[in-house]
């Protein structure tokens, strides 16, 4: 089953934003290429790419995007 995400150039920073195909306002995060080790890094929304908060070690941007798509960052429930 194909994933429901697409790539968009991340303006103002480097890498690619991983967006939902149905609703481009929904972002799963950013994937970018770490030049020193030649591996892709996945960062959940809210982290600034390159700030050290990402998950490195992916062979391609597609695999990094799949990780973000499948393992979304938990959202607060709103319950007190």
What integer pLDDT is reported at residue 27 of this predicted model?
A: 86
What integer pLDDT is reported at residue 64 of this predicted model?
A: 92
Q: What is the mean pLDDT of each run of 10 residues along the chain (80 residues)?
A: 72 79 86 83 73 82 91 62
Supply the DSSP symbol for 74.
P
């Amino acid at each position: 089953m194909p994933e429901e995400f697409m790539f968009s150039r991340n303006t103002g920073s480097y890498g690619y934003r991983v967006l939902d195909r149905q609703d481009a306002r929904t972002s799963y995060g950013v994937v970018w290429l770490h030049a020193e080790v030649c591996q892709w890094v996945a960062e959940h929304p809210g982290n600034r790419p390159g700030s050290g908060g990402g998950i490195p070690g992916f062979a391609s941007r597609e695999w990094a995007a799949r990780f973000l798509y499948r393992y979304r960052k938990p959202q607060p429930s709103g319950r007190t």
